[in-house]
């Protein structure tokens, strides 16, 4: 029998230092944060849950040596980056570079993963280049230890991970919430433009 289990979240991996910067940015000013991705940006219902997993970061001064879930947040929206196809196919980077400057001028330095413009510019062109971003708010650090293997069991991935994020069904979101010790009711309102609400018990 078919059971309705809509997609309402994503699990995302990134350098631990980047996630820590997002947490500090949010705690300082409570401004919406922009998470740049090398894939097409995820599309979720407004209010969908984001689980941010910090991978090992040897370039960080603190050197995060343990891969673990660091924070969860609320999804606000997304943007595609203009000019990326021309940059990849025709090596025409003019529009794509202007998009880099637009994103920095719109969100930098306190709404991105780094406050350093040179670091942002270098990040922009790695792994084939940034293709989009998603917006998030209500970023909460996770104190409970949730390891890589814990996340993989919920994601049902048992091989090397080649993606930056993975969509989560409502059931998977509930499992992550239980894992980090949050007792909450998930409400999904609407069909054409659904909203996700998390009500703590």
Radius of gyration of the chain measured on its C-alpha atoms:
17
Q: What CATH code is carried by the domain that includes residue 82? A: 2.30.130.30
Going by the DSSP 8-state scheme, the letter that residue 125 receives in this structure is H
Domain that includes residue 55, residue range: 7-200
Strand order in the sheet with 49-55: 33-37, 132-141, 68-80, 49-55, 7-15, 165-169
Please, what is the end-to-end C-alpha distance for the chain in angstroms?
Answer: 30
Q: How confident is the model at residue 145 (pLDDT cuts 50, 70, 90)?
A: very high
* pLDDT for 72: 97
Adjacent-strand bridge partners of 74:
49, 137
Residue 165 domain flag? yes
Residue 1 domain flag? no
Among 40-54, 57-71, 79-93, the minimum mean pLDDT is found in: 57-71
Mind listing the pLDDT tens digit for each residue in 93-106? 899 999 999 999 99
Residue 74 C-beta-side C-alpha neighbours within 13 Å:
15
For the ranges 39-48, 53-62, 65-74, the one whose mean pLDDT is highest: 39-48
Total domain count, the chain: 1
Adjacent-strand bridge partners of 133:
36, 79
Residue 130 domain flag? yes
* pLDDT for 49: 97
Residue 114 domain flag? yes
Adjacent-strand bridge partners of 137:
74
Q: Please tell me which residue, 112 or 195, carries the higher pLDDT value.
A: 112
Asked whether the whole model's pTM tops 0.85, one would answer: yes
Residue 2 domain flag? no
């Amino acid at each position: 029998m078919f059971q309705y289990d809509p997609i309402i979240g994503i699990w995302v991996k990134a350098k631990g230092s980047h996630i820590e910067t997002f947490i500090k940015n949010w705690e300082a000013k409570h401004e919406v944060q922009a998470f740049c991705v090398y894939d097409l940006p995820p599309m979720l219902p407004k209010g969908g849950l984001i689980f941010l997993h910090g991978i090992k970061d040897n370039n960080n001064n603190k050197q995060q040596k343990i891969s673990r879930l660091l924070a969860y947040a609320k999804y606000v929206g997304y943007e595609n980056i203009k000019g990326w196809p021309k940059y990849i196919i025709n090596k025409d980077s003019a529009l794509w570079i202007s998009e880099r400057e637009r994103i920095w001028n719109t969100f930098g330095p306190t709404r991105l993963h780094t406050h350093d413009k040179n670091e942002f510019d270098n990040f922009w062109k790695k792994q084939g280049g940034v293709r989009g971003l998603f917006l998030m708010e209500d970023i909460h650090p996770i104190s409970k230890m949730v390891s890589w293997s814990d996340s993989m069991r919920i994601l049902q991935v048992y091989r090397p991970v080649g993606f930056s994020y993975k969509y989560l069904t409502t059931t998977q979101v509930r499992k992550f919430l239980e894992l980090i010790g949050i007792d909450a009711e998930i409400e999904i309102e609407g069909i054409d433009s659904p909203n996700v609400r998390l009500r703590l018990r």
